[in-house]
Amino acid sequence: MRRGIAAAVLAAAIAVSASACGSSGGSTSSGAKASGPVTITWWDTSDATNEAPTYQALVADFEKANPDITVKYVNVPFADAQTKFQTAAGSKGAPDVLRSDVGWTPGFAKAGYLVPLDGTPAAADTSTFEKQLVTQATFQGKLYGVPLVTDTLGLMYNKSLFTKAGIAKAPTTWDELKADAALLKQKAGVDGFDFNAASYYAMPFLYGESTDMVDAAGQKITINSPAAVKGIDTLKGVLASPGVTKLDTTANAYANMMDKFNSGKVAMIIQGPWETTNVYKGAAFSDKTNLGIAAVPAGSTGKSGAPIGGHNLVAYAGSDAAHQAASEKFIAFMTSAQSQTTIATKNATLPTRSDAYTPAVTANPGIAGFQTILTAGVPRPALAEYSSIYGLFNTELLKILANQESTQTGLNNASIATKKLLPSFATQ
């Protein structure tokens, strides 16, 4: 995920349609085996400037190791990729392999666009991957993706400002964060905390009360439960506290928050590892060791939790057998320990398998910091409609935080909208 994360998680639901069939652009007729060399198409959704060159270099390495397989590399803007793949799959013209956001994978699988990878070369090493990431790539008991990169939210903080305010360690509860924010304002002369008002960033307040937007296993809508109300009321209390930046709801809110943090005008934010490279470019973090990374504060249950994001490599079900076999080899190569180590060192993203956290990778303090808090990450339920609920939640969250409606009323409205997506789910 990158700066477009809010737009990505708030995108409309993937239309659940009949299973796709046929062949991809480089395939022979469905079910037939290609004679001779095979060309597969890969849609990479990484940042075209900062990340894509690393993936292109790995593609070249794969082709050298597999001379009978050619990979047609296509970089597709992340913001457009979900809709483009859905359209292409529906018209039997999707790429053989896609770098899919973890939130898209269940919907594509439910629509029949993806082939299960269980028992294939692509899934040979899954025991070395972080368990919750494999869970997040699974739909109805089958593995539909292999985790390529991962991320989660953490508390980023400015260590020198903490020292100036006499604060020895990162807050572990929201009450501690409020107290620290007030001290930072009083003693360091800066705002203690700034918040990106988007539903994805509000999830730690729900997880801290041991709840989620839905209970997928129990088929219940929980976005307006007493625990959820308590979580969002906690968020409101944080935002109303001394030393906390006034809520910014402008179109530039995200960029404004990052500019203030990077320049040392704000001491704490909730953020993910995709921003560490940009943070290190800021005046306040020319010394990388000044960036502190900790788990998000815990709620009243004593639990700390943050959503797990990232990307899986998935294979198109409409490709023929030869192209699917080549795709499986390609996915295995790209998600290998060696490839993930290369990706992490070049792109400063988090690997998804434990054996890729080499000394060279963890020499990056941002990666090392986020690695320690991955265990607090909460995988998304294997529910095709889940990503769309972020948008319904976000609409009401903004009204709640702007005091245009009460927490209970806003979350009730989100529940009503969610019921239309999940008519078989029970409501509170």
What is the pLDDT tens value at each position of the chain, 428 positions in all?
444 444 444 343 333 333 333 333 333 333 334 446 999 999 999 999 989 999 999 999 999 999 999 999 999 999 999 999 999 998 878 999 999 999 999 999 999 999 999 999 999 999 999 889 999 999 999 999 999 999 999 999 999 999 999 999 999 999 999 999 999 999 999 999 999 999 999 999 999 999 999 999 999 999 999 999 999 999 999 999 999 999 998 999 999 999 999 999 999 999 999 999 899 999 999 999 999 999 999 999 999 999 999 999 999 999 999 999 999 999 999 999 999 999 999 999 999 999 999 999 999 999 999 999 998 899 999 899 999 999 999 999 999 999 999 999 999 999 999 999 999 999 98
Burial class of residue 253 (count of CB atoms within 10 Å of its CB; 0-12, 13-18, 19+): middle
Q: Based on the domain organization, do 315 and 414 belong to the same domain?
A: no
Which pLDDT belongs to residue 36? 62
Which pLDDT belongs to residue 26? 36
Q: Based on the domain organization, do 159 and 144 belong to the same domain?
A: no
In a domain, 427, yes or no: no
Q: Which one of 378, 393, 408 terminates a domain?
A: 378
Which pLDDT belongs to residue 4? 46
Q: Based on the domain organization, do 212 and 165 belong to the same domain?
A: yes
Q: What is the CATH number of the domain that holds 318?
A: 3.40.190.10
Q: Which of 60, 53, 2, 38 is nearest to 346 (CA)?
A: 53
Which pLDDT belongs to residue 348? 92
d(CA 31, CA 318): 9
Cα end-to-end distance, the chain, whole Å:
32
Q: Based on the domain organization, do 348 and 276 belong to the same domain?
A: no
d(CA 232, CA 213): 12
Q: Based on the domain organization, do 210 and 286 belong to the same domain?
A: yes
In a domain, 316, yes or no: yes
In a domain, 426, yes or no: no
Structural domain including 264 reads 154-306+384-421
Q: Based on the domain organization, do 39 and 81 belong to the same domain?
A: yes
d(CA 19, CA 158): 49
Q: Based on the domain organization, do 66 and 173 belong to the same domain?
A: no
Is residue 263 within 8 Å of residue 285, measured between CB atoms? no
In a domain, 265, yes or no: yes
Give tens-digit pLDDT for 141-163.
999 999 999 999 999 999 999 99
Q: Based on the domain organization, do 276 and 327 belong to the same domain?
A: no
Which pLDDT belongs to residue 10? 38
In a domain, 183, yes or no: yes
Q: Enter the tokens of residue 294.
A: 């900790």
Q: Based on the domain organization, do 146 and 162 belong to the same domain?
A: no
Q: Based on the domain organization, do 337 and 237 belong to the same domain?
A: no
This prediction's pTM: 0.87
Which pLDDT belongs to residue 375? 85
d(CA 141, CA 135): 9
In a domain, 428, yes or no: no
Which pLDDT belongs to residue 35? 47
Q: Enter the tokens of residue 37.
A: 């060399």
Specify the number of domains making up the chain: 2
In a domain, 45, yes or no: yes
Q: Based on the domain organization, do 145 and 27 belong to the same domain?
A: yes
Q: Which of 81, 126, 135 is nearest to 108 (CA)?
A: 81
In a domain, 317, yes or no: yes
Q: Based on the domain organization, do 139 and 214 belong to the same domain?
A: no
